[in-house]
Structure 1
Amino acid sequence: MTTIPFYPIGTPGQPWGETELATWRGRQVRQRSYRDDVVRRIDTLRARFEVIEYGHIDYAGEAFPLLALKTHAWDETLPIALVTGGVHGYETSGVHGALAFVEAHGEDYAGRINLVVAPCVSPWAYERIHRWNYDAIDPNRSFGADGKAEESRALRRLVAPLHGRVLMHIDLHETTDTDESEFRPALAARDGKPFVPGEIPDGFYLVDDSANPQPAFQQAIIEAVAKVTHIAPADERGQIIGSPVVAPGVIEYPLEHLGLCAGISGARYTTTTEVYPDSPRATPAQCNAAQVAAVRAAIGYALAPNRQDDRQGRG
């Protein structure tokens, strides 16, 4: 096992306090622009989709509107598909894949399904290419009723009126090498716990909901993405990131219990994608295309004729 030096903030065995949090914030450098990369692309879609500002983040004078795209001709008789990306701001293809899907395919479903797309849930972290928000909180563990991340609370407020009416919810993520070099060591240091190294899967995989498994739905997505990029194999223990592989490229988590984004909608069909952008076998364009393929396959499966009578969420 490789020995990883302790994270350079904090004291081993002691959780962070305000001093350590301030030190961590001081290390975060703005590396890209949410307004240039995301808001401007959303603005170009205003003639085709309704744009909703569902929340507003202000961190030390930096303001970020939280934006979602919604079907213009909303039809209350149709099912709803929810697409979320950028819950972890560093996961680039989640953001750009969601936007690329809307730009190229969002209107393909007119009259068949209502779309709600929140492409960048955590804009401050998007700019810093980080997993956490300004308060060193992971938004994707904050979607429970007691969640502390305002990014997560805002999305919950947006989705709450739709709960139980959403047919399909796909949440677009990445697993990167920095999970092991930065984010998991930082998490251990923040919580005053020892860091135990893990492994990064080489390839695309999905996280199904162990409380509502939909194996055929996951398989349809895997088959579509396999045409774009490679699927992560199980490790020597038959696992991916410590969880048993239940089908090629698929593991399961209790999504709602863990406060994960894909558990907020009560949808019949839910999944979390995980792309591996650091693979020598994948390019950024492939990663974005894999996310688009996943969204299209997810909606296509949910709308297939043999599921005509199963168009409502779980309630």
Structure 2
Amino acid sequence: MTTEAFYPIGTPGIAWGPAELAQWRALQLPQRSYLSDVVALVERLRERFDVAEYGRLDYGVDTYPLFAVRSRQWRDELPCVLVTGGVHGYETSGVMGALQFLDQHAADYAGRVNLVVAPCVSPWAYERVQRWNAEAIDPNRSFRPDSPAQESAALMRLVEPFRDRVLLHVDLHETTDTDESEFRPALAARDGIAYEPDAIPDGFYLVDDSENPQPAFQQAVIAAVAKVTHIAPADARGEIIGSPVVAEGVIQYPLKRLGLCARVTDARYTTTTEVYPDSPRATPAQCNAAQVAAVRAAIDYVLAQAG
């Protein structure tokens, strides 16, 4: 079914121009602090890890340093593991889960893998609890050459020197009720297309790469997360957010073709986590813990395969 959904910016059927973009941007006011919530925690990690500023977002009066946290005992012969959070700034547990993993568990892998963690790829959007960046561009559709998104381009520059050595990339995301109430209607309005409603899955799920599927790996992550929070069931059509469920809690996308973050390298093992923070069966702490469990299970799996 296709329905018209009212969105307060633009004219139905007509894509946004500069005036609509300016109107949208003016409504995006900061609701929380990247410096207090993220940068302050990153600074505390400097005692145990190498911390580098890998870029800086420039949106006029709004500028944001971008930070990556790396293993201090970097050894070229070890496999690289990349963890990213906050590609969509409003997906809070992706950011907090990445930081929690660093603080509580990253040391367990010292001397076994080279870790690179970018905990908040999109700080402008983090502060405004937004999906898009300041140009109304989705960074998680922009990981491609000549990217239109500063956030995506900066991350691609960060990983370029070691991208061929990345064995595993875990990209931490959420699916929220606002995906349906705000962000999908906004997308339809921005692009001048009809809004097509869909259901929000209740629970955790993963997105595998349809062009490089790793079913056993995905199931190992699902099994670990199931001990922390519930796994999203398929809907009546056997789908999650419009994609067929290929195994418990797993769907597939063509990651590179869509310009998704999880394919920013050619890693053999990739997964995108999707936590559901609006469930009555999950707390913010559970959502953060689910992200941590996913990262740990993913690393444990690839180390076991390598060993």
**How many Å separate the matches in 2 of 1:93 and 1:72?**
25
Partner of 2:214: 214
- Quote how far apart the aligned CAs of 1:2 are: 9.5
Partner of 1:62: 62
Q: Does 1:158 align with 2:158?
A: yes
Note the residue ranges of structure 2 that are not aligned, 5 or more in a row: none
AA aligned to 2:199 is E
- The answer to whether the 8 A contact 1:87-1:140 is kept is yes
SS of equivalent to 2:222: helix
SS of equivalent to 1:153: helix
Calculate the TM-score normalised by the size of structure 2: 0.98
**How many Å separate the matches in 1 of 2:203 and 2:112?**
32
SS of equivalent to 1:164: helix
Partner of 1:168: 168
Partner of 1:202: 202
AA aligned to 1:289 is A
Q: Does 1:145 align with 2:145?
A: yes
- Quote how far apart the aligned CAs of 1:147 are: 1.9
Q: Does 1:245 align with 2:245?
A: yes
**How many Å separate the matches in 2 of 1:182 and 1:163?**
35
- The answer to whether the 8 A contact 1:89-1:126 is kept is yes
Q: Does 1:16 align with 2:7?
A: no
**How many Å separate the matches in 2 of 1:234 and 1:307?**
32
**How many Å separate the matches in 2 of 1:236 and 1:146?**
40
CA RMSD across the alignment: 1.0
- The answer to whether the 8 A contact 2:3-2:196 is kept is no
**How many Å separate the matches in 2 of 1:159 and 1:97?**
21
Partner of 1:313: none
- The answer to whether the 8 A contact 1:203-1:232 is kept is yes
Partner of 1:289: 289
SS of equivalent to 1:46: helix
SS of equivalent to 1:168: strand
**How many Å separate the matches in 1 of 2:135 and 2:172?**
22
- Quote how far apart the aligned CAs of 1:307 are: 2.9
Deviations 1:169-213 (A, max 9, x none): 000000000000000000000000010111100000000001110
AA aligned to 2:281 is R
- The answer to whether the 8 A contact 2:175-2:276 is kept is yes
AA aligned to 2:174 is E
**How many Å separate the matches in 2 of 1:6 and 1:159?**
40
AA aligned to 2:27 is R
Deviations 1:115-151 (A, max 9, x none): 0000000000000000000000000000011321000
Calculate the TM-score normalised by the size of structure 1: 0.96
**How many Å separate the matches in 2 of 1:274 and 1:291?**
9
**How many Å separate the matches in 1 of 2:74 and 2:27?**
44
Partner of 1:312: none
- Quote how far apart the aligned CAs of 1:4 are: 5.6
- The answer to whether the 8 A contact 2:85-2:119 is kept is yes
SS of equivalent to 1:45: helix
Deviations 1:28-62 (A, max 9, x none): 11000000000000000001000011100121211
Note the residue ranges of structure 1 that are not aligned, 5 or more in a row: 309-315
SS of equivalent to 2:45: coil
Paired positions, count? 307
- The answer to whether the 8 A contact 2:168-2:269 is kept is yes
**How many Å separate the matches in 2 of 1:2 and 1:18?**
27
- The answer to whether the 8 A contact 1:141-1:147 is kept is no
SS of equivalent to 1:170: strand
**How many Å separate the matches in 2 of 1:293 and 1:151?**
26
- Larger relative helix fraction: 2
**How many Å separate the matches in 2 of 1:60 and 1:163?**
31
Partner of 2:265: 265
**How many Å separate the matches in 2 of 1:61 and 1:31?**
17
